[in-house]
Structure 1
Amino acid sequence: MLTYETWVNEIHEFDPVNPTKGALPVLKWAYETYGDDLVYACSFGIEGSVLVDLVHQVKADAQIVFLDTQLHFKETYEVIEAAKKKYPTLRIKLKTPALTLEEQAGKHGEELWKVNPNQCCRIRKVIPLEEELNGVKAWLSGLRREQSPTRQNTQYVNRDERFKSIKICPLIHWTWKDIWRYAHKYDLPYNKLHDNGYPSIGCAPCTNTVLNADDLRSGRWSGTGKLECGLHQNP
């Protein structure tokens, strides 16, 4: 098995003849190193569709978890079902929060996402992922450096203090064009909201169409000053 030091010295992330910009070598190293102790937390946006396909090439029975906040668009659930049919050997799990929406409303008030979106994300995304990653050594994420200023320093392998694990991000050097080029080339199932002005897709109440084409995440939590759900912010 390659050590991380050997692997990182050998990888050629900007090699123009490498169509995955380092993603496949990263995944091969990650699964050789962690095996079933590696979980992919997938949002099933277009980056997710690409990374699911790459993961399947490396480990056909990989563990994938979707944080089902119960507030997602129907199109998001549709692409999950399409992925299950295309990759039947993958272990795709929908993880729901401890509180139903009704229980959350009773405890914190109606439409918490409007009043306190950080608390809503914590209840419906952060805590569920903490539960899934409890005792797990590493997890995969589809973060790309191009997505936002908060992600520009993301490395292939990151120490995640929030979840006390290693976060591996194989797509950090991919551009938006790279993602779509790959998805169309291999006819991948993808969220059809992407065709209607939604480059970044989260929960329905907190996701709008994008007016600024230079900021692909500007449709998330519009007008709140919030940039991240909390999954990618170390405490």
Structure 2
Amino acid sequence: MSDLIQNIDQVAAEYASKSPREILKLALSEFDNIAISFSGAEDVALIELAKSLKLNFKVFTLDTGRLHPETYRFIDRVRVHYDIDIETLFPHAADVEALVRKKGLFSFYEDGHKECCSIRKVAPLKRKLGGLDAWITGQRKDQSPGTRSEVPVVQIDEGNSDERRKLVKFNPLANWTSKEVWDYLTISEAPYNELHEKGFISIGCEPCTRPVLPGQHEREGRWWWEESTQKECGLHPGKK
């Protein structure tokens, strides 16, 4: 077990006020078997930062099969722009087929999004994380005040760890605001999802994402038919 894992609370306190670049440098220097989880604007900022560090890094993304066409084009633009490989993870076809056969294509409008997300997003992610020592996310504290306000810059991923294996999760952008992310992307001339020009802020699957109105929080566009405290898909679980 690495010294970082054994002293995770001390490291989290030490790096709590450091820049995303410093946190990312720690992550990529400490772990070889580590990857950046990519889906949106925050993750492009992480890739841009990682490129500037000139350290080796890997990137993966989840294809649920229900993404917007603009999102698929965005993923490929990022691949080409940074000249990187992006590993794409898919859900097991049999699990998707069983759900659709039993409940149809839009069951989440009736009984909540957790079952569909579990099959299309959480299960593929868990398979990937099972082969990593650490991963890097674009989580920000202000993304969802009800569920992410306490996100540390580095932590043990309790939801994906057990007594035999501790998975480390880095959240270098935890203290950044949406404005800071977009200021950085603008300065860097980084690619972004075309949907942002159409009022979308937080972007997920096509049936579960819509633009937000002026003054609405970004997560209001996700699973809008559910309570605000339910606006997580299970990719970032707490303790078991």
Check 1:77–1:110 CA distance in 2 against 1; reply closer, same or farther (3 A cut): closer
Match runs of 1:62-77 below 5 Å: 62-77=57-72
CA contact under 8 A between 1:71 and 1:205: conserved in structure 2? yes
Secondary structure at the aligned position of 2:119 is classed as: helix
Check 1:121–1:29 CA distance in 2 against 1; reply closer, same or farther (3 A cut): same
CA contact under 8 A between 1:79 and 1:191: conserved in structure 2? yes
CA contact under 8 A between 1:61 and 1:91: conserved in structure 2? no
Determine what percentage of the aligned residue pairs are the same residue.
35
Give yes or no for the alignment of 1:30 onto 2:34.
Answer: no
Please give the alpha-carbon distance, in whole angstroms, between the structure 2 residues aligned to 1:120 and 1:79.
23
Q: Which residue is equivalent to 1:18? A: none
Check 1:12–1:220 CA distance in 2 against 1; reply closer, same or farther (3 A cut): closer
- Taking only aligned residues, the RMSD between alpha carbons, in angstroms, comes to 2.3
Residue 12 of structure 1 and its aligned partner are, at CA, apart by 7.9
Q: Which residue is equivalent to 2:92? A: 98
Amino acid at match of 1:92: I
Q: Structure 1 residue aligned with 2:153, among 156, 161, 177? A: 156
Q: Which residue is equivalent to 1:185? A: 187
Runs of 5+ in structure 1 lacking a partner? 14-20
Check 1:96–1:205 CA distance in 2 against 1; reply closer, same or farther (3 A cut): same
**1:95-135 CA distances to partner (integer Å, 9 max, x unpaired)?**
11002654531244332332341000000000000001113
Please give the alpha-carbon distance, in whole angstroms, between the structure 2 residues aligned to 1:125 and 1:9.
31
Please give the alpha-carbon distance, in whole angstroms, between the structure 1 residues aligned to 2:37 and 2:212.
24
Runs of 5+ in structure 2 lacking a partner? 162-166
Please give the alpha-carbon distance, in whole angstroms, between the structure 2 residues aligned to 1:26 and 1:139.
12
CA contact under 8 A between 2:139 and 2:171: conserved in structure 1? yes
Secondary structure at the aligned position of 1:218 is classed as: helix
Check 1:10–1:129 CA distance in 2 against 1; reply closer, same or farther (3 A cut): closer
Q: Which residue is equivalent to 1:132? A: 128
TM-score, length-normalised on structure 1?
A: 0.87
CA contact under 8 A between 1:122 and 1:230: conserved in structure 2? yes
Match runs of 1:1-235 below 5 Å: 4=4, 11=15, 13=17, 22-35=19-32, 37-43=33-39, 45-58=40-53, 61-88=56-83, 90-99=84-93, 101-116=96-111, 117-149=113-145, 150-164=147-161, 165-211=167-213, 213-225=215-227, 226-234=230-238, 235=240
Q: Which residue is equivalent to 1:16? A: none
CA contact under 8 A between 1:31 and 1:59: conserved in structure 2? no
Amino acid at match of 1:222: W
- Structure with greater helix percent: 2
Please give the alpha-carbon distance, in whole angstroms, between the structure 1 residues aligned to 2:13 and 2:235.
29
